[in-house]
Amino acid sequence: MGSSTNFNPCYVLLPLFLVLAANATHTNFFLPRPRTGYYGSACWNVESIVRSVVESNYLANPANAPGILRMHFHDCFVQGCDASVLLAGPNSERTAIPNLSLRGFNVIEEAKTQLEIACPRTVSCADILALAARDFVHLAGGPWWPVPLGRLDGRVSLASNVILPGPTDSVAVQKLRFAEKNLNTQDLVVLAAGHTIGTAGCVVFRDRFFNYDNTGSPDPTIAPSFVPQIQAQCPLNGDPATRVVLDTGSGDQFDTSYLNNLRNGRGLLESDQVLWTNPETRPIVERLLGLRFPFLIFGLEFARSMTKMSQIEIKIGLDGEIRRVCSAVN
């Protein structure tokens, strides 16, 4: 009779563990994901420091609120929320056409400078940007929400990687762009409603009010009374850089006025107005306005969608770093 060997499961489990550990640097399988309270005692006052900087800059210039919100969106939609949009350089994301009008870089750098004094090499620029966006929205009258922290900063920033939803995009194109980032159609509508604060340059939308689709006439979905109002602010021979509020009548207050404007044909951007004319997105707008059951509370839904967006393709482990200077040359 042959000899028997006792089976030891450790012989199987140990090699399996070693395989997983060897791959951990590639998959970040064992590394923590962003969470609230991430910094703990390592930087217990991170949120209060960022909040203080945001408050002073909001008082100095309320336009910093939509500027930082837009910057956060542009950052997350290009290689994830890694503060790569902050990096300087001749071919960085900042030099791409959609990013040339971004504002608020100084705000993030100011917060970073203070945090480097309080907690050196601890808080990422990506986390600062996420916190600042939340705090600016809140100061403008919007919701407050807990921001999961623990992102790292990206090392790569290339203008050629900047592909963002555009001001003339159809709902179908916008849905595709958002789905690529694991955001659904409701997220699309809710995040687009962030245009309740901020402005857009005439060059972005002027054709829509004069020569829509080369017809020689304005976009027929625009309310007739709205056409001359915008034409007066953005004449054909006027400065293309002139800024016009995205939410007519309430451009500096975070509220549902933007959604009501879509309902009344007063959306400035084509990509916004189609959210009302499209049969898939219109019911979401109606629910946010309390016109269709079940109702959606705009502030609550915006906070949820922002939390989702702020965790797009985040960098952890060996994928990123913590910069000393947020706008370092790439």
Instruction: Give me the DSSP letters along 148-215.
Output: PB--BB-S---GGG-----TT--HHHHHHHHHTTT--HHHHHHHHGGGGS-EEEHHHHHHHHHSGGGS
Q: Estimate to the nearest angstrom the gap between the alpha carbon of 224 and the chain centroid.
A: 32
Annotated ligand binding at 285? The verdict is: no
Annotated ligand binding at 80? The verdict is: yes
Query: Which pTM does this prediction carry?
Result: 0.90
CA gap 8, 214 in Å, rounded: 76
Residue 302, pLDDT > 80, answer yes
The confidence band for 86, taking pLDDT boundaries of 50, 70 and 90, is very high
Annotated ligand binding at 251? The verdict is: no
Question: Each residue of 175-228: pLDDT tens digit?
Answer: 999 999 999 999 999 999 999 999 999 999 999 999 999 999 999 999 999 999
Q: Which pLDDT score, from 0 to 100, does residue 84 have?
A: 98
Residue 243, classed as helix, strand or coil, is strand
What letter would DSSP give residue 237?
Answer: T
Residue 5, pLDDT > 50, answer no
Q: Which pLDDT score, from 0 to 100, does residue 18 have?
A: 41
Burial class (CB in 10 A: 0-12, 13-18, 19+), 190: buried
Can you read off the two tokens belonging to residue 271? Answer: 């990509």
Q: Which of 26, 72, 74, 138 is catalytic?
A: 74
Q: Give the lowest-confidence range in 34-38, 43-47, 82-86, 186-190.
A: 34-38
φ, ψ (nearest 5 deg) of residue 24: -60, -35
The confidence band for 31, taking pLDDT boundaries of 50, 70 and 90, is low
Can you read off the two tokens belonging to residue 12? Answer: 């199987």
The confidence band for 32, taking pLDDT boundaries of 50, 70 and 90, is low
Annotated catalytic, 74?
A: yes
Annotated ligand binding at 138? The verdict is: no
Residue 14, pLDDT > 80, answer no
